[in-house]
Amino acid sequence: MTASRTPRVLAGLAVLGLLTLAGCGTQTAAPAAKPASSGEGRGIRATQLAHVTDVHEATGMTLLEGPVLVDDGSLYVVDVTAPPGEPKLISVDVATGRHEGVYTDRTGAYTSAQISPHDHRLYLTDFATGSIVSVAQDGAQPRTFFSGEVDGSRMTPDDIAFDDEGNVYVSDAHGTEPDETDGRIVRIDRDGTKTSVLADGLAQPNGVMFDPELRGLWISELAEDTISYLLLDAGKTAVTSRHEAIHVDGGLAQTDSIAVDADGNLYQALHGRPAIAVYSEYGARLATVEVPAPRSEGLKSATNVAITPGGTRAYMTVSGPAGGYVFTFPSLAKGVRQSNGG
């Protein structure tokens, strides 16, 4: 989710404004002219798996995010705008579409979820408080993994990725006004005690995900409609090079979260359109995953995607005035660990 795509509920709904700006959806000034990818590749039709949530009376919206498959085979999603006491982490049976609440609290506005390869707990980014919370896979034993400032400034964490050692990489949406470029990519050691800023000067960064070889990070900037690549050093503690790799020609839609598959293809979720743009690692537009027209009414955004590790069944979270849904589609290649959540 981005710090610019759709509003989320924070205390007193003040966060709704921020969240709307956070990839959670904002209107931004037209970017400077840049080379745009042409064509949309082949069409892939998504199929509805589950209608998970309806618009909450207390917050005026619902927003599903962070799909991640857990060890029992269930798909977990987060509802960013769920009010206190209503499910914020939800389990979906991928065979039947049945769903149930797994975790809630009074303050969190969770925008992503991923499983750490170190301790196998679920890590949730809290856009509202600037913290990262972990829970056991059954929703028990909540712990604050990280809270506080990074280089003198509190984070607005959106998406999350892990390296194989369990160190955490977070997109910090930070500035949420259209002309702000205060966003960052932050690394947090797996014990939660040491932080470093890998990249700054970003325009509402949202998606963050390793390539299959874990050599570098793909990141998206919602306010710029771009995907950039950050090549990391051997210790993954510093960026050795950074370049804009793809400009997403999305029209009214903006770049939200990112997933990768085993072949290195990028699945770019679109805020403002219930679709996923699929690119090769060299920037070719390979395909567009679409919610078919009869089912797309009242659905405004595809926020995130997860691909089954070792398989090609993919799941996308889609939301709008019609509610929060999970759709499935066949990915172009098999999923890997990094494909699952973020």
CB 324 within 8 A of CB 65: no
- pLDDT value at position 19? 55
Percentage of the residues of the chain whose pLDDT score is greater than 90: 82
Three-state SS at 339: helix
- pLDDT value at position 342? 80
- pLDDT value at position 258? 96
Tell me whether strands 254-260 and 266-271 are parallel, antiparallel or unpaired. antiparallel
Q: Could you report the per-residue pLDDT of 155-192, keeping only the tens digit for each?
A: 999 999 999 999 999 999 986 566 668 899 999 999 99
Q: How far is CA 196 from CA 48, 192, 281, 283, in A?
A: 40, 11, 27, 29
CB 301 within 8 A of CB 318: yes
Q: Could you report the per-residue pLDDT of 303-331, keeping only the tens digit for each?
A: 999 999 999 999 999 999 999 999 999 99
- pLDDT value at position 176? 59
- pLDDT value at position 5? 42
- pLDDT value at position 1? 56
Give CA–CA dist 193/221, Å, rounded: 27
Name the DSSP class of 190: T
- pLDDT value at position 341? 86
- pLDDT value at position 141? 96
Query: Which one, of 20, 77, 52, 51, lies nearest residue 340 by Cα?
Result: 77
The low-confidence residues of the chain, meaning pLDDT below 50, are 2-15, 17-18, 20-22, 25-38
- pLDDT value at position 174? 81
Beta bridge partners of 307: 314
- pLDDT value at position 4? 41
Three-state SS at 211: coil
Q: How far is CA 316 from CA 207, 269, 296, 303, in A?
A: 14, 8, 13, 7
Name the DSSP class of 16: H
